[in-house]
Each structure stands twice: as C-alpha cells, then as structure tokens.
Structure 1
C-alpha cells in the first residue's frame, strides 16, 4: 500500500500564516474540558463480542502531552484534537453526568429518584454500554428509567440497545424524542443511507490510519465508533415548546427547534439542576449548515432564532449549559455570552450570504469572499473545525436559490467522464495536462491541480500518473484543512486514488440493523427507493403483505414503475404474503434466500409465488463501496 507523503514548503507556509491569525491560546478550554472528571477506562478501549475494538483512544496517543503540532496538521485543528483527546466520566453538576469521547458524541445521564435517564446513547451499543457501566461504577448500579433522543442523527440514538434490554423495550420504557424524529432518522439513514454512509467514511476518516498524516480528529469529536447500530422508535413525541414532563421524578421543560442542526431537534431545561441542554444546536465550533456527507440543508435563520429563544426562555435561570458534543459552560453570564455568539454566527452567515447573492454574486464567489467580523472571529468556539464558512455560505445559497447559479453555461453541463475527455483534449492531451498540473503543484496551487487533474482521472482512471498527482494535491489540501471533515475527505480521496479498491462481483452492502427495526410503513416506504424503474418497466403487481410480528396488513402495488403501499387494505385477487419485518429486510438485502424462507416457514404465501419473487428481483442491492474520486 502506497504511503502518504510529507508536507510541502507551501503547506508549511500556509500553517505559519494561519497561526498568526489565531486567537490567543489560554488554558481556559482545557479547564472546561477536564472539570468534574471522575474516572475512565484505560484508553477508553471498548471491544465487541468478537473481541474486536469498536473504539480505542490509544490510537491517538501521538497527540498526547508534549507532542507538538506536526507539519502535516493544521495547527488550529491540532488544538481541537488535543481537547477532544480527554475521555471519561464527568460531573456536570451533582445529578448530571456525561461520558465524553467514548464515541463521536456525548452520552449524558440524569439521576432520577430510582435510576438514570439517558440522553443520546451514542452511535453504537458497545460504547453506550461501556459508558453506562462506568457511570454505575461511580454512582451505583441503578436501572435506566428513560431515554431522550435530542435529534434525528445516528450518533444520538444508534447505541440505544447498549442501555436498554429487550425486556425494557417490550415493556414500553419511555423513549422521548422531538416530533418527526423517526421520519427524519429514516430519511437520512435508510432512504439515503447507503450514499450517506459511504460519504461518511470520507468525512470521518474511518479508513485512514491514526497518525500525523492520517486521521487526527473530526472536529465534532474524535471519530465514529464501529459497533452495533440500531434504532428503537420513540414512545413519546414532543411537539410544542413549553411541554413539561416528569421522568423518574425529574422535571424537564422542552423547547422544540425544528430545522436547526437537524430537521427534528429539541433543547430542554432541568429546573432542579438549573441546567440547560442545547442538544447539538450549540457546540464548540462552527457547525455544518450543510454537511459534506450529505443531508438536507439546514435553516441558518431558524437555527439562530431558536438559540435566541433559548436565551429568553432559560438564559436567566441556567447555571450550566451542556450539549451532546464537546464540553459544558458554567455560570449564567458565560453561558449566555456563548449562546449569543453562536446565535449570531449562524445569522451572520445567513444574512451576509443573501446580501451578496442579491448583488448577483454566485455561491463560489460568496464562499471565497465571506469572512467573520472581529468579535466572532476572536473566539475558538466559532472556528470551522466541522462546518466551514466556505461550504456553509454555499448551503445558504442553495437553500434559497438552489444548485443553479443563474449562468446558463452551468444549466446542463456534461457529466464528469464526458467533460473530462473534452478538457483533456482541450489541454492538448494527457501529457500536456499533467505538465501544466505539475507546474501548478510546484507553485503550491493545490486547488487548481485538484480541479485540473480531476478531469484526466475521470477521462482515464487507468492513468496512474494522473491519479498519483491528484492524490498528492489532495493530500496537501488535507494537511492544510482546519476542518476535520475537509481533512477526512481530502486524505481519504488521496488514499483511494493511490490504492484503488478492486471491483467486486456482488454489491458490498452496508449494515441493515436499522432497517430491520423500522415500523412496517417506513420499511415498505424504503423499498420504493430500491425499485429499479428500468426493470419494473410496464409491469403491474399487487400483493397483500401481512407482518406477523406487528399484525399489520398492507396492500402493496406496482404500476408505472412506482411502488405504493396502503395500510389496512387487501386485494382479494392478489397473493398474500405473511412474514416479519426482519425477514422482509433480509430478503431485500439478500441475507435470506426466497426458497429458504419458504422452506423454513419464516414466510408463507397464499396464491402465486411469482409476483413477490419478481418484485424482490426488481429491488436494487446497493454497493456501499461505490467510487467517489474515480468513475
């Protein structure tokens, strides 16, 4: 496997220039990070049942005390990475505890009268279970008495089975989430899940080595855990700000914040602790208005407005502010000051982007020009460790004006392969293009090298010289990036260009843990995006589907190459299929064969079998490892 290269002189100069612009570095943030520390486990190393590590902070030991910033890392990102290195159990205030850096996100525990209320049980079950065990070691072996999902991103619910048992779920233990949570979670992680999951391997540096030339930090946290991901639907939805609930003797006042950091999200306040949870609406950096892994563009104006509302609702009372990433803020005055600058950070990007757009500037032009005012630029917690001014400005433009910049030359452009062939021809052939690109590389113009050589890579992916020069340019851009996700994208792309993945005969599918647990209607809805329209053609099919695990009945129809499903309907002329939701999911992704399901009675069919078999044959199986930087 070809190894990464050293930082160039141009990259070292870029780091030095940035270092001169950074705010003064004091010990204040490290004091906040370590405050309330109660204990941890060695290296936060967490194993799955097979004995493989799903989380291991020892991989980041090269960032420890006394380790200076390498030339291959942006100095500002290096500082954030060292803050995210501190892991373990922390007391926020007596009765509220967080385990940090056992995963990308924080898991928070509230001590109730009889047990623990869990807020945001991480990405996967093993780290969540380890965090709960650490809490019990220090605070007593009490049961989980409730779960709160702050919002619909997988790092805030995927590990729920690490804190809940099958019996808890069967008995309907209270799981609280904002209204629309389930629909939005399915939208991101099932309907668009394969594409988003693959892109997330770039964004979080999942494939990169943990060293100074590889993955350093995600900005939002260290990286993502690699354990068992699941989804247990909520039992209680919060739809109105001001809703009050008492869970295990603890009063909670909710603030609903739709279309902020997630389409379904909520903040909440604990009066008896004078503690405000800001979910992921306020974290210690500039967040994403658009996330490079792919998601709906967020509403920066609403985001700002809801932070302002939180100040009005809770700011005067709250003595501590904590969130689902990073570290808390103590003291009402400091908490409100933090909230105000976070509020104004998102509104500034929103307002200034639209100001320039109304002057006729395009997204690329706005992104290049936009800078923060001095009062916002002076804070470490407004820096672009996760989101960036550059791509967030483009996101605001996209939300209001879409992907098209108004120039008709960009209305119907050639796709990458066809455009690539034409650019290579225009340059005078592959050798001439590479000569110009190498000259640009020597001058440190890595952005231009990446744009230019990308055309040759897509025109001729077998051109090893092109792939390697493209990798070299992207690598230096990664070393220079202040944003963890930008670094992840650049360096993962460089790795895959240098070491192409062999093609596979069969689709290499991602995990289907969330798919098996979906409510029946959402499971059927997810099949619609798998239907291959060309295969369906003019076929018409009707099926009665009975889910034996939930005793739900649906009529599923195929016509005009579109799937529809109707609850509580039945076509007396159509075949009737009886099976569980899990069996249907396994049939769809190929983990269970059609004939085997009939033979072992996990599926029964009354009437003709062919229509259901035909429908399954028209459903695509997605290859998780599709190419991104090559055709």
Structure 2
C-alpha cells in the first residue's frame, strides 16, 4: 500500500454522499432467509462461496479498495431469498446473476436460472424450503448471456421440456447469439473473463472483492436447453403471452445489453422486469472480456420506450442483477437517469469524434458524467466505465484506426517493446525511471514503461515485480470492479505464472445446441488456413441421419465454406453419420477413427481427405499469455 493510493481513496470519499443508505434499505427489503454459505458440486468441488466474502461486513473501506466499490460490494453481499412483491421472489447472491421466481396459477415461472446447475438447484431449494415443492412449469431466458441460462438443468430436466411439461421462452435470436458468443470466440472470451471477474484471485481486501455487477462467476456445470417458444419473432416490438394463467407483456430490446434481450411487464402485479437493461451500475457498451459492441443510442431509446409504456403504472422494478426499486416516482427517475446516461455517452463521444478527437483523447475528456447523472449511485462505474465505454462508441462508429497514419501499421508488441527499451538506455535504465515514477504515484506511466520491459524481456524479474506492484495500486484505486480484477489478475500472473487447466464456455450442452450450419462455421474458425492451403483442396458430403440433412463442405485455398444442399457428385469423399456421433467426437467422448471403426461413421471415397481436414484443425488453449508475450 502506497501513500499515493491512500491519498487517492481519501479524496474519493469526499466526492459522493456516503451517508445515503437507501440502497441498503432496498437490498434488505423482503428478506426471507439470508445466504452466506458454500455450494459444491457432486464431487465436492466448491462452485460458489459466499463465506469467503465475510471480510466485507465492515462498513469502513480498507485503503486497498476504492470506497465506492467497497460500498457496492457490501450491497452485493446481501444475499438470500427475498420477496419482491406478491407472488414474485428473487434469490440473490447465489451467483453473479439473480434468479427470479414468479408464482403462476399451477406452478412456478423461473426467470434466468443462473450460470451453473449447482447454484440454480440451491436457489430452488431455498425457495422450496419456505414455500413447498411447487412444480416449474416455465423458464424464461431474459437474454443470451450465459449467466442467464447456464443453470437451467438445476431447475428443470431436458426430458420434461421435450415431453412438453415445461416451456422455455426466450427472445428471438437467443440461440444463435448464445451459441456464437460462447463458441466462436469462446476460448478467448473465457480467458479474458478470468481477468474481468477475478474468480481465480483470493477473496480479500488486497484481492477480489467482487465484480460490480455481482460477486463473481460460479464455477459449476453449465447447461443449455433450447427454447421451445421464441418471443418477438418477425420483428415484434411487444408481445403478450399468458404463461400458467399469468399475462406477461414482453418488450423486445435487441442490441441493448445483449443482441437478444427483452424486458417483461406483469400487469397483475404492476411489476417491471428490466432484464439487464437497467441495473445499479453503469453497464458495458463493450465488455472488457470481449463481445460485439453494443449500441448506447438504441439502449437509451428502448429505456425511453420502457418509461412511456410502463413508467406510470409500475410499482416495483426488478432486474436480473442487484436489488429492486420500489415506488413509481423512484422507478421513473432511475430509468430516466440511465436512459440519459447512455444517450450522453453516445452523443458526446460522437461530438468529440467530429471535433477530431482520438479514442484515448475522448476517454480523457469524458472522464465523468455531469453531476446530475454521475452522482447517482446506480450510474457509477462499477461494471462499465466511462473510459472504456466511450472508446467502445468510437470503435462502433470509427473502427480500430484513430486516423493517425503512424498508427496504421505499428510494430507488433514484442518488437516495439525491444526498440523502446533500447532507445531509452536499456532495461536497467527503464526500470530506474519506472521506480522514480512509482514513488511519485504516477502509476499509469509506470505501467506503460514496465509493459515494454516485460515484453522486451519476459525473464526480467525486476520488471515483472515493478509492473505487478503498479497494477496492484491501480487496482486498489479503481471504482470499477472489473478493472480492479483485471489489474490484480495481471499482477497475480506476473508473480505466479499462467495457470494450468481446462475450461471454457463451449459446454457440452452449448455444442449440442448448435445448428449444423453453426457447427461448420466453427469448423472453419478452427481450420489452420496456411496448413490447409498447403495440403490441398477437398470437398466432403456430410450426410446426417438425424436430423435428415446433407451439408457440402469445401476447403479451397485454406478457406472452409459450406452449404446445406444435396450431396455433390464431385465430392472427394462422403461421410454418413448421426448428429449424436458428431457431438461425441466434438466433445472428446470418442474419436473420428473409433467412430469409423465401430460403424458410427461410414465413408465412401478418399478417406485420407477426411483425415487431412481434421489434422488441420487447431485446438484452442484456455490459458494463453496476457501480461507476458
């Protein structure tokens, strides 16, 4: 802990009204049973641990945590089963997201069954402990992010869904976006999510304290059951559906916090579910784990439509993160403030773009919202930040290039680092400069210097140590939970090396849910183009028995293309198989050769072409280097 960081925290305490306790009152309202326990999987592995956050019970923020973030994480620590209104309950603090439980005429409607089946099952058990074993008759996925569907098998069985006993509702486009996000770039996103959520960091005042949106991500079994009913098909803006005797009006909000997302209004209870479009934080226009850039202009417009449709009649606003808000006036004010926040970020970034500002210049110019918006606790930078959100808007409209030709074809990081270090007098000189700036509390500059030292010489013990100390201080000062986690995770890896292990969001259920066209898209992503280009072209007919589809796959010049069509007469080879066999190979449950040997796959034509295709596929490691080259 440095003097500069302690002084920074003391200055921050004077910028906001920490005497305002209304959020704590709302977060505790309706508590039926608190939760502060550990959830384990069938093998005894911990997948969720609220006990580890007990150190946050102290109201006084330690000097190693930004006081505003400490306040937010103390609120996120208020976990358990809560009554939202008549017939609406939430389980909060058993995962990154909330599970909302709505009582219908004959059973339960579950909104967003968390990330893992283990945490979802624990949430259901907590509700049933108090209200009995009512059956689940429907599940609603509010949007296409994994923390809103991954625990579905802890709530319902796939057999019951297939038998028609349970319906699953999701916004139009849900399956496409859920699968593409977690598979196409899923490995890289999973690795970067480790930095964003800090799940591998120790839970302590010098480690992970939360992620702003919630505590962290659970580490259990991720599942996916495909929706039975699509809401908003054909471009509908609003669709009313009666589920188990209860009328629910869905407001489709595509392109806001997720590419497929929807709010829901329950007239009988005067309750508005805002999905993840209005939570108690400034959200991400572009999440730092990586995703498609969101549109804050569209986000703002949908929130305005929400106010117009439901603002005058809503008595409780609940979302799939954080705690509810009660009272029509307070709800309308919050929705309006968040509407204006996203509009401000969008329009002011565009204003500066048109004045010739570059991304980092815009981030420095628009450090904060105007006080009327920025002083509101629910508009603070806990999850998104002004800094990375305005750069995301720049990226959305202008792309990666800032207009300066010197930045159009820059040197790659390692080569640039070596030249920087050499031109500044060598490694020892740069480290000495870094230490001087560190003593002055100029941590952003120290990080800039030390990243070059580490990339120029990954074995530099002194360079890695100083960079780690610098990232610690930057993390300690950050109000943003994900920035803190990323900084501290970088410091952790500089000291301990890259972790070993496996993982990722491309779970078995996600693979199984992929339409065959998306499977072949993913095959093209895995294809090592240079290797494939040098090993010759090929064309393969893939004839599936279940479903009864034929896909023609062509590899030409290192590029894989495919189409659903009749078998091609000039194919190099034809494969006959079932989708179940393909999934087993993809998931490593069997091999291609074994499937041929046992008759699960039959091949006619040039079998070596099939072998050649699979030998040219890359396997993506989940733990690649980030803070070292």
What is the match of residue 559 of structure 2?
562
What is the match of residue 107 of structure 2?
115
The 2-side partners of 1:17 and 1:423 are apart by 35
**Partners of 1:202 and 1:492 within 8 A in 2:** yes
Q: Does residue 1:163 correspond to 2:155, yes or no?
A: yes
The alignment partner of 1:437 has SS state of helix
What is the match of residue 494 of structure 2?
497
- Distance apart, 1:98 and its partner CA: 0.8
The alignment partner of 1:39 has SS state of strand
**Partners of 1:178 and 1:237 within 8 A in 2:** yes
What is the match of residue 398 of structure 1?
395
What is the match of residue 409 of structure 2?
412
The 1-side partners of 2:253 and 2:499 are apart by 45
Instruction: Map 1:232-381; keep pairs closer than 5 Å.
Output: 232-239=225-232, 240-370=236-366, 371-381=368-378
The 1-side partners of 2:178 and 2:10 are apart by 42
Bigger shift: residues 338-347 or 518-527: 518-527
**Partners of 2:382 and 2:480 within 8 A in 1:** yes
Change (3 A) 1:301 1:544: same
Q: Does residue 1:78 correspond to 2:83, yes or no?
A: no
Q: Does residue 1:9 correspond to 2:7, yes or no?
A: no
Instruction: Map 1:592-611; keep pairs closer than 5 Å.
Output: 592-611=590-609
**Partners of 1:308 and 1:340 within 8 A in 2:** yes
What is the match of residue 231 of structure 1?
224
- Distance apart, 1:553 and its partner CA: 2.6
What is the match of residue 628 of structure 1?
626
Change (3 A) 1:258 1:553: same
**Partners of 1:219 and 1:484 within 8 A in 2:** yes
Task: Please give the per-residue CA displacement for 1:585-621, whole angstroms capped at 9, x wherever unaligned.
Answer: 4534655322222334443334443222221111110
The 2-side partners of 1:174 and 1:626 are apart by 40
- Distance apart, 1:25 and its partner CA: 2.7
Match of 2:514 among 510, 518, 521: 518
Match of 1:52 among 45, 51, 67: 45
Change (3 A) 1:579 1:101: farther
Q: Does residue 1:100 correspond to 2:97, yes or no?
A: no
The 2-side partners of 1:120 and 1:407 are apart by 45
- Distance apart, 1:551 and its partner CA: 3.3
- Distance apart, 1:308 and its partner CA: 0.3
Change (3 A) 1:333 1:220: same
The alignment partner of 2:254 has SS state of coil
Name the Cα RMSD after superposition.
1.8
What is the match of residue 189 of structure 2?
196
Match of 1:459 among 456, 460, 483: 456
Q: Does residue 1:19 correspond to 2:16, yes or no?
A: no
**Where does the alignment leave 5 or more consecutive residues of structure 2 unmatched?**
none
Change (3 A) 1:590 1:423: farther
Change (3 A) 1:412 1:589: farther
What is the match of residue 126 of structure 1?
118
**Partners of 2:142 and 2:170 within 8 A in 1:** yes
The 2-side partners of 1:549 and 1:320 are apart by 47
The alignment partner of 1:529 has SS state of helix
TM-score (norm 2): 0.95
Task: Please give the per-residue CA displacement for 1:34-92, whole angstroms capped at 9, x wherever unaligned.
Answer: 11111245x2421111111111100111112x453111111110000100001111111
TM-score (norm 1): 0.95
**Where does the alignment leave 5 or more consecutive residues of structure 1 unmatched?**
1-6
**Partners of 1:453 and 1:469 within 8 A in 2:** yes
Change (3 A) 1:51 1:511: farther
Task: Please give the per-residue CA displacement for 1:475-495, whole angstroms capped at 9, x wherever unaligned.
Answer: 110111110100010000001
Task: Please give the per-residue CA displacement for 1:322-367, whole angstroms capped at 9, x wherever unaligned.
Answer: 1110011111111111100011111111111111222111111111
The 2-side partners of 1:385 and 1:398 are apart by 22
**Number of aligned residue pairs:** 621
The alignment partner of 2:230 has SS state of strand
Change (3 A) 1:543 1:243: same
Q: Does residue 1:140 correspond to 2:132, yes or no?
A: yes
Task: Please give the per-residue CA displacement for 1:259-282, whole angstroms capped at 9, x wherever unaligned.
Answer: 111111111111111111111000
